[in-house]
Structure 1
Amino acid sequence: MADKIDDILSSWRAGRNALLYGPPATGKTRLISELFTALNKPPEAHHGILLDVADAEKPFSRPEQEITIPQPIKVVWTTFHQSYGYEDFVLGLRPEITSQGARLQPWAGIYLDAALELADTDSEYKSVVIFIDEINRGNAARIFGEFMTFLDFDYRDGGSVPLPLPLRQLTYEEGQSEEIRRPGGRTSRIPEGFTFPRHVYIVSTMNSVDRAAVPIDSALARRFDRIEMRPDLHVLALHWDIDETAIPTPTEDNWEALGPFETAYLLLDRLNVAIASGLGPEFELGHGLLTPVLARRTADDGTLQPAEEKDAWRSLAKTWDDVLFPQLEDRYSGRPEQLLDLLHVDTSPTTGGYAWTLRTAKGGTVETRALAPVRVSELDIDVIKRSFRWLTR
């Protein structure tokens, strides 16, 4: 995660915004959550060493991770969704009843409020960072509107071509806008010719698989540095405390001896290779989908102990039923033969039970190429082991 945080900070230092892009469960939201915390309390860097000769027990330590934007930093979190609009993010007009009657009162959205925060001489903040989760769940082009221009740092204060804010919804008098309401009960006015402050930064996440999401257009996408978040088997190896170098390649001679975590590791690897080859790498399965597989249990004395092997197999089967297989069904919707091939339905083990079979009619007169419904976690433990081990091949 630390190297990805460095990538985001490097983008900001270069006057760019950052977009974390990848399949679900690859750690995008977790990463920006860690960055959210790091901006308030910087963690240890993974480069450099500090020496404290006065500390005999621990003379060496890591320095804090360098935050490369002006501090103190105000951090704001939002999530785009289908009903999220320009009025929430930039500027909205809300009806207000006064003694003179009803009027439309301007209210600053998150993006405009960030600019007003840095323009406020009484503010303690030098930078504002806006975290946008699921940027493609809303109509991002409409949400940003004409303020899409100010994603480009060249058009901000101090840039090569600074442009004034185009807020035609406001009325101006004697060089000042009407009063704008802001979060927290504050108000501000904008002078004519006001330019967008430089130190407003955005980091956002985007799901590469979600078909219900709205693709972001090229004008918006080119204003972000795209940081790809891919499935990472190494994260699973650390989570399960297994040695990746000791995981064997499944063969005819050793596949029946694979343990539950070796099997889960190899299973995700094989599934993603097949998915990348047939559908594209953006449809791969994130490693986070398998982290629920039980690796440790709490003993009676409160200590963490390795899970029983049988419990780990059952947990893998339940994770498959509840999490992994629904993702496969979604990706292979309309491609039943590819799913059957992925599950080795036509090439199952020659002996013993197997979880995935073809559906049959009770009368036996109808030929079908449909997968028989099954809850793998409810099968005999030997069938569970054999089935998942076979899938790694």
Structure 2
Amino acid sequence: MTKKLDDILASWAAGRNVLLYGPPATGKTRLISELFQLLKQAQQGTSGILLDPNESEKPFSRPSKPLTIPQPVKVVWTTFHQSFSYEDFIIGLRPDITSTGTRLRPWAGLFLDAALELADPDSEYKSVVIFIDEINRGNAARIFGEFMTFLDFDYRKEGRVAIPLPLRQLIYKDGLSEPIFRLGGKEAQIPENFTFPKDIYIVSTMNSVDRAAVPIDSALARRFDRIEMRPSLEVLAQLWSIDRDTIPSSIDDIRDTLSPLLAAYLILDRLNISISSDLGPEFELGHGLLTSIQASETDRGMEQESLEDNIWRGIATAWDDIIFPQLEDRYAGRPEQLIDLLRIETPPLEGEYAWKFRRSVSSALISRTLEPVRTSELNVDVIKRSFRWLAG
């Protein structure tokens, strides 16, 4: 995560926007939300940003190196969705009701308002950072419209080819536009040949798995530095105090003694290798799906065996509610691959196994479909045997 944060700051320093992309639960939104809070609270100075992944409560601190953008920084958060529009992000017309009647007046969206903020001589801010979560859940090309050009810093003020704002929706008189309502209640006017300010930066996230999301077109994507957020076993190893150097290349000899957390660690590793081979790495399962599994403070006084049983059941609950639904979604229309993934045709030689083929109640008919099961409702010995077998 520290490297990802450094990459964001380096992109801003180079005059580039940032797109974090990857499967769900890989820390994209968490990273930018922590960065949002830090920049929101930061005061003008020479402090930079440091991320310590071992500090789960307050992972960010302020080292001596400077930020790469001018301070103070105004931060703006938004999430794109199917109803989010050009009018919300750039400029739109809204009715303004007065004593003399009703007329349509221009209102600035988030992106234009950022430009107006830096053009305001009374503003305290020197730069604006816009955080866009789930950028591909809206029609991003339509939302940005002609302002897609200004994602490229070369066409902004102080750029190599500064281009005036193409706001043909506005009425100009005597070199100034009609008044524009801003988000904070102020009004502003734009002079003719106004160029987009330099110090406006965007950091966004994109889910690489969701089929319902709108793909980012190439013209928009090339204006972002793309930073991949991959599932990280290292995060789980740190969270669960797993020494990866002690894990053998084959677990056959230690399978029956696998701890619940090591089993969960190995399961995620095995599932993601299979998913990557079958579907591609962008469909892997994020480590965040498992970070909720740990011994709670209320469990600390339990006997070791009871504590481990609770963790096993926590793994089973996470499997039922989070992980298996993700697998069903990824392997929709590929039942044989899911059967192989769950090792249904090669179960343990002894004892009950959680996953099996569906059988007819009144005959010997067996279907090559899964018997519905909630593993969290099974006997804990079955849970242990099943997840240890699934681990490798």
Normalised by the length of structure 1, the TM-score is: 0.92
One-letter amino acid matched to 1:318: T
**Aligned residue for 1:357?**
356
Q: What is the CA deviation profile of residues 285-309 of structure 1, one whole-angstrom value per residue up to 9, with x for unaligned ones?
A: 00000111133323699xxx99811
**Aligned residue for 2:30?**
30
| Structure 1 residue 150: Cα displacement | 0.2
**Aligned residue for 1:369?**
368
One-letter amino acid matched to 1:235: V
Distance in 2 (CA, whole Å) between partners of 1:79 and 1:312 is 35
**Aligned residue for 1:385?**
384
Tell me whether 1:189 sits opposite 2:189 in the alignment.
Answer: yes
Distance in 1 (CA, whole Å) between partners of 2:183 and 2:305 is 49
Distance in 1 (CA, whole Å) between partners of 2:115 and 2:362 is 71
Residues 297 and 306, structure 1, Cα contact 8 Å, conserved in 2? no
Uncovered stretches (5+) of structure 1, i.e. residues with no partner:
48-60
**Aligned residue for 2:227?**
227
| Structure 1 residue 66: Cα displacement | 2.6
Residues 118 and 127, structure 1, Cα contact 8 Å, conserved in 2? yes
**Aligned residue for 1:178?**
178
Residues 48 and 67, structure 2, Cα contact 8 Å, conserved in 1? no
Residues 19 and 226, structure 2, Cα contact 8 Å, conserved in 1? yes
Tell me whether 1:98 sits opposite 2:98 in the alignment.
Answer: yes
| Structure 1 residue 101: Cα displacement | 2.3
Distance in 1 (CA, whole Å) between partners of 2:119 and 2:63 is 32
Q: CA RMSD in A?
A: 1.9
Distance in 1 (CA, whole Å) between partners of 2:352 and 2:371 is 14
**Aligned residue for 1:119?**
119
Q: What is the CA deviation profile of residues 242-272 of structure 1, one whole-angstrom value per residue up to 9, with x for unaligned ones?
A: 2222233343322111110110000000000
Cα distance change, pair 44–116 in 1 and its aligned pair in 2 (3 A): closer
Residues 296 and 307, structure 1, Cα contact 8 Å, conserved in 2? no
Distance in 2 (CA, whole Å) between partners of 1:46 and 1:83 is 34
Residues 79 and 135, structure 1, Cα contact 8 Å, conserved in 2? yes
**Aligned residue for 1:340?**
339
| Structure 1 residue 187: Cα displacement | 0.6
Distance in 2 (CA, whole Å) between partners of 1:146 and 1:240 is 49
**Aligned residue for 2:57?**
none
Distance in 1 (CA, whole Å) between partners of 2:295 and 2:108 is 48
Please identify, of 94-103 and 225-234, the stretch whose mean Cα deviation from structure 2 is larger: 94-103
1:240-255 alignment runs, 5 A limit: 240-255=240-255
Residues 294 and 311, structure 1, Cα contact 8 Å, conserved in 2? no
Distance in 2 (CA, whole Å) between partners of 1:34 and 1:2 is 12
Distance in 2 (CA, whole Å) between partners of 1:242 and 1:318 is 22
One-letter amino acid matched to 1:136: N
Please identify, of 34-43 and 325-334, the stretch whose mean Cα deviation from structure 2 is larger: 34-43
Please identify, of 22-31 and 251-260, the stretch whose mean Cα deviation from structure 2 is larger: 251-260
- Number of matched pairs: 377
Residues 297 and 307, structure 1, Cα contact 8 Å, conserved in 2? no
Tell me whether 1:10 sits opposite 2:10 in the alignment.
Answer: yes
- Aligned to 2:310, the other structure's residue is in SS state helix
**Aligned residue for 1:53?**
none
| Structure 1 residue 237: Cα displacement | 1.1
Q: What is the CA deviation profile of residues 195-229 of structure 1, one whole-angstrom value per residue up to 9, with x for unaligned ones?
A: 00000000000000011100010000000000000
